[in-house]
Amino acid sequence: MKRLLLMIGCAGLILTSCAQSKTEPKKKEDKKQEQNMSNNDSTKVEKTESEWKQLLTTEQYHVLREKGTEMPFTGKLLNNKEKGVYTCAACGNELFTNDMKFDSHCGWPSFDKEIAGGKIKTETDTSHGMIRTEIMCAKCGSHLGHLFDDGPTETGMRYCVNSVSLDFKKE
């Protein structure tokens, strides 16, 4: 019985993820660049949900502001091997560097640590019948993904991040 309930719950999560809208509004890169603060600025970014909707694509808004999840193995940065810095797609806050990234085979970009200086804040997430550690951008509060203690590197950590919640600045 427990196994059946677990399978039904997992199927529901998959269907919910699959039902996400595939229509994206036009990129608003110029507007985004104007509104992003300096990456080294620790000033909190506060916007209304209406402002975030104007700034982000539909998928970005769903993940970053509504704590959604992109489909695994679909993210633009999953297989990125270039040198550079991964930033918050909402505010430009520098979060990870390429040498922190590793392939965890989980379907989302994974990192073993964050850039120092409190760039990420954490909170306990008890949604979907699980207890996990949610990671959010400390500058704008946007949802990035989750933190697990099952990483294969020396830190033992795995920051599992939605690709859509990140931008990449090539070195």
Across residues 109-130, what is the average pLDDT? Answer: 96
Predicted local distance difference test score (pLDDT) of residue 42: 65
pLDDT tens digit sequence for 61-108: 999 999 999 999 999 999 999 999 999 999 999 999 999 999 999 999
When divided into structural domains, the chain yields a total of 1
* 64: DSSP letter: I
Q: Is 140 a catalytic residue?
A: no
Q: Within a 10 A sphere around the Cβ of 124, how many other Cβ atoms?
A: 8
CA 107 to chain centre: 12
Domain of 131, CATH number, reads: 2.170.150.20
Identity (one letter) of the amino acid at 57? Answer: T
How many residues does this entry show for the chain?
171
Q: Give yes or no for a contact between 77 and 159, defined as CB atoms under 8 angstroms apart.
A: no
Q: Which of 88, 91, 137, 160 is catalytic?
A: 160
55 in a domain, yes or no? yes
CA 159 to chain centre: 9
62 in a domain, yes or no? yes
132 in a domain, yes or no? yes
21 in a domain, yes or no? no
The CA-atom distances, in angstroms, between 171 and each of 81, 97, 99, 151 are 12, 10, 12, 26
The residue segments making up the domain with residue 134 are 27-37+44-170
pLDDT tens digit sequence for 3-62: 444 444 444 443 333 333 333 333 444 444 434 444 455 689 999 999 999 999 999 999
